[in-house]
């Protein structure tokens, strides 16, 4: 079974609108030596002999803005040895998925889809943008702390993977242990925290050789805490940094003991709001915005974000 002849058919057509919305079609006739030949035999002959254009590969011969989108063979029911093949062209911009299909590469090699947005929320704060404690005119912290509107960048990355990274089992809320790069931007160590992870059902696609490729669509997002990096070079990031304050302090005569902090009134009274401490458990004698000390605690596990898909 084979095609004996294939040649262009008179009857071109087109539709010309804006530059990015123009279409056209061209037709060919193929004659076979067996009426039971199928469409695969016909189009393979046309491609093997460089007669037919390849979808998402070849452009219109006289208007290269248009790309071939489909090749449609149809057998003549009245004359089954004859086939009419129609190639359709269009200048409509390709979607990202169509661009990937045009490259005829394995779904695993398709580039990641990356999007950026901001999350807005109210945040209780104990220090200003310069790292100074927020206290009242008497040097006492506000109780409860004041709240302000805040925004953080959230980056979402979707990538086809052969298998799910094992790190998802341990680091669903992890913080980056080292710098990593996303879309050419360096994210400092400790600045990013995993916000969300999702994994699709197993998908099937094909590589350039037509072999089946099984994969998963892995989507993850991370949120960035960048205020400290932006203002004073601190690498605190997602560390918990409470203002050192309390109702008790170390006993000046015996550091192993704790005593209640009292006012200077006569008689002395227990303080009604927390007092500033110096980071070593001692009461700050003359509290001010610059005398506030912030403690640092690691409250999230850390791992290398380079073990997750980034591009």
The pLDDT tens digits of the residues spanning 238-256 come to 988 899 999 999 999 999 9
Tokens of 301: 């596990």
Q: How far is CA 71 from CA 51, 57, 241, in A?
A: 12, 12, 63
User: Do 120 and 218 sit in the same domain of this protein?
Assistant: yes
Q: Quote the mean pLDDT of the chain.
A: 88
- What 224-230 contacts at long range (C-beta under 8 Å, 24+ apart), as own/partner pairs, is 224/152, 224/153, 224/154, 224/155, 224/187, 224/191, 224/192, 224/193, 225/152, 225/191, 225/193, 226/152, 226/153, 226/188, 226/191, 227/129, 229/188, 229/191
Q: Residue 102: is its pLDDT beyond 80?
A: no
Q: Does any domain span residue 103? A: no
User: What is residue 141's predicted lDDT score, i.e. its pLDDT?
Assistant: 85
User: What is residue 104's predicted lDDT score, i.e. its pLDDT?
Assistant: 58
CA 188, 194, 196, 199: dihedral to nearest 10 degrees?
100
Q: Residue 165: is its pLDDT beyond 50?
A: yes
User: What is residue 235's predicted lDDT score, i.e. its pLDDT?
Assistant: 58
User: What is residue 2's predicted lDDT score, i.e. its pLDDT?
Assistant: 85
Q: Does any domain span residue 178? A: yes
Containing 259, the helix (H) or strand (E) segment is strand 254-260
- Report the relative pairing of strands 203-206 and 185-187 from DSSP bridges: unpaired
User: What is residue 1's predicted lDDT score, i.e. its pLDDT?
Assistant: 58
User: Do 203 and 303 sit in the same domain of this protein?
Assistant: yes
User: Do 123 and 272 sit in the same domain of this protein?
Assistant: no
User: Do 148 and 271 sit in the same domain of this protein?
Assistant: no
User: Do 159 and 181 sit in the same domain of this protein?
Assistant: yes
d(C-alpha 67, C-alpha 136), whole Å: 68
Q: Does any domain span residue 114? A: yes
Q: Does any domain span residue 139? A: yes
d(C-alpha 31, C-alpha 44), whole Å: 14
User: Do 303 and 173 sit in the same domain of this protein?
Assistant: yes
Q: Residue 210: is its pLDDT beyond 80?
A: no
257-293 pLDDT, tens digit each: 999 999 988 898 999 889 999 999 999 988 887 888 9
Give this prediction's pTM: 0.66
User: Do 123 and 219 sit in the same domain of this protein?
Assistant: yes
Q: How confident is the model at residue 233 (pLDDT cuts 50, 70, 90)?
A: very low
User: What is residue 52's predicted lDDT score, i.e. its pLDDT?
Assistant: 95
User: What is residue 5's predicted lDDT score, i.e. its pLDDT?
Assistant: 93
Q: Does any domain span residue 233? A: no
User: Do 137 and 22 sit in the same domain of this protein?
Assistant: no
Q: Residue 183: is its pLDDT beyond 50?
A: yes
| Mean pLDDT along residues 116-135 | 86
Q: Residue 207: is its pLDDT beyond 80?
A: no
User: Do 78 and 46 sit in the same domain of this protein?
Assistant: yes
User: What is residue 99's predicted lDDT score, i.e. its pLDDT?
Assistant: 61
User: Do 216 and 256 sit in the same domain of this protein?
Assistant: no
SS3 264: coil
d(C-alpha 71, C-alpha 55), whole Å: 7
Residue with structure tokens 């929320």? 121
User: Do 125 and 11 sit in the same domain of this protein?
Assistant: no
Q: How far is CA 274 from CA 29, 141, 264, in A?
A: 90, 7, 15
| Mean pLDDT along residues 121-141 | 83
Tokens of 167: 């790190």
- Higher-confidence residue: 10 or 210? 10
60-94 pLDDT, tens digit each: 999 989 999 999 999 999 999 999 999 999 999 87
Instruction: Residue 267: give the domain boundaries.
Output: 245-291
| Mean pLDDT along residues 189-201 | 94
Q: Pick from 29, 23, 66, 68: which is nearest to 46 by CA? A: 29
User: Do 74 and 181 sit in the same domain of this protein?
Assistant: no
The region of weakest confidence among 98-102, 123-127, 160-164, 229-233 is: 229-233
24-74 pLDDT, tens digit each: 999 999 999 988 889 989 999 999 899 999 888 889 999 989 999 999 999
User: What is residue 241's predicted lDDT score, i.e. its pLDDT?
Assistant: 87
Q: How confident is the model at residue 98 (pLDDT cuts 50, 70, 90)?
A: low
| Mean pLDDT along residues 290-298 | 88
């Amino acid at each position: 079974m084979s095609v004996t002849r294939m040649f262009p058919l008179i009857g071109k057509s087109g539709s010309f609108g804006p530059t990015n919305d123009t279409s056209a079609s061209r037709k060919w006739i193929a004659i076979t030596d067996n009426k039971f030949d199928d469409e695969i035999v016909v189009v393979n002959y046309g491609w093997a002999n460089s007669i037919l254009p390849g979808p998402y590969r070849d452009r219109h011969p006289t208007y290269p803005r248009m790309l071939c989108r489909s090749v449609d063979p149809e057998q003549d029911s009245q004359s089954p040895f004859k086939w009419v093949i129609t190639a359709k062209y269009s200048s409509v911009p390709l979607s990202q998925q169509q661009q990937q299909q045009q490259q005829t590469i394995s779904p695993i090699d398709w580039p990641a889809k990356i999007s950026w947005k901001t999350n807005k929320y109210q945040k209780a704060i104990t220090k200003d943008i310069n790292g100074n404690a927020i206290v009242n005119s008497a040097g006492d912290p506000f109780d409860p702390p004041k709240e302000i509107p805040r925004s953080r960048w959230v980056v979402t990355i979707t990538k086809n993977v052969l298998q799910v990274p094992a790190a998802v089992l341990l680091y669903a809320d992890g913080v980056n242990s080292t710098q990593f790069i996303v879309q050419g931007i360096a994210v400092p160590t400790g600045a990013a925290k995993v916000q969300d992870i999702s994994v699709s059902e197993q998908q099937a696609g094909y590589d350039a050789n037509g072999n089946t490729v099984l994969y998963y669509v892995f989507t993850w997002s991370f949120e960035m805490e960048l205020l400290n990096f932006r203002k004073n070079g601190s690498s605190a990031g997602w560390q918990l940094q409470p203002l050192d304050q309390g109702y008790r302090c170390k006993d000046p005569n015996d550091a192993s003991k704790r005593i209640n902090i009292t006012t200077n009134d006569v008689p002395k009274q227990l303080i009604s709001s927390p007092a500033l401490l110096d980071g070593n458990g001692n009461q700050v004698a003359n509290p001010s915005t610059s005398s506030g000390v912030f403690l640092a605690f690691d409250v999230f596990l850390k791992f290398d974000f380079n073990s997750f898909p980034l591009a």
